[in-house]
Amino acid sequence: MTATLIFDFSPQAELNGWTVVNDGVMGGRSAGTLALSPEGHGRFQGHISLANNGGFSSLRYTFPRQTVGKHSAVVIRLKGDGHRYQFRLKHQASDAHSYVHYFVTSGEWQEVVLPLADFYPVYRGRKLDKGDFRGDYLEQVGLLIGNQQEQDFKLLIDKIALQ
């Protein structure tokens, strides 16, 4: 099956639809930013602080409804910093909960394959007693770092697709 592109970072990419949400929404002091690198990759970087009960930075991309169809996984080409991240999906951008899947970066460019059947529902860090992801469509994807420790982070993202 042909992959369906969700977002392709490039030197000409427009970052419309992308939003950074840090723990400051709950009084925390973490800081994350998104920018295009000179090579045209999305650069999500910052510092996670545990001050004021903080501890996360996240990145969200909202887009017109995308049919999942027969796709069975999300594939992300990225270069991380060796830290653990969470990839997040939402059926509807307005949903309070997200479906999540963790992955660890290698420090090198890698292709991360996350089976859709392995995404489970969470709300504010707590697993919900709902079924795992079985959606027919998506309106939002995102990344989150929140490993319960102070740390700098940097993630370069090339592209995100359904496969």
- pLDDT computed for residue 57 by the predictor: 98
- pLDDT computed for residue 135 by the predictor: 81
The CATH number for 107's domain is 2.60.120.430
Q: Cα torsion for 139, 29, 81, 37, to the nearest 10°?
A: 70
- The answer to whether residue 157 scores a pLDDT higher than 80 is yes
Q: What is the span of the domain harbouring residue 13?
A: 4-162
Total domains, the chain: 1
Q: Note the pLDDT tens digit of each residue in 109-139.
A: 999 999 999 999 999 889 999 989 988 999 9
Q: Note the pLDDT tens digit of each residue in 93-109.
A: 999 999 999 999 999 99
When pLDDT is cut at 50, 70 and 90, the band that residue 151 belongs to is very high
Task: Dump the DSSP string for 90-155.
Answer: ESSTT-S-EEEEEEE--SSEEEEEEEGGG-EEEETTEE-SSPPP--SEEEEEEEEE--SS-EEEEE
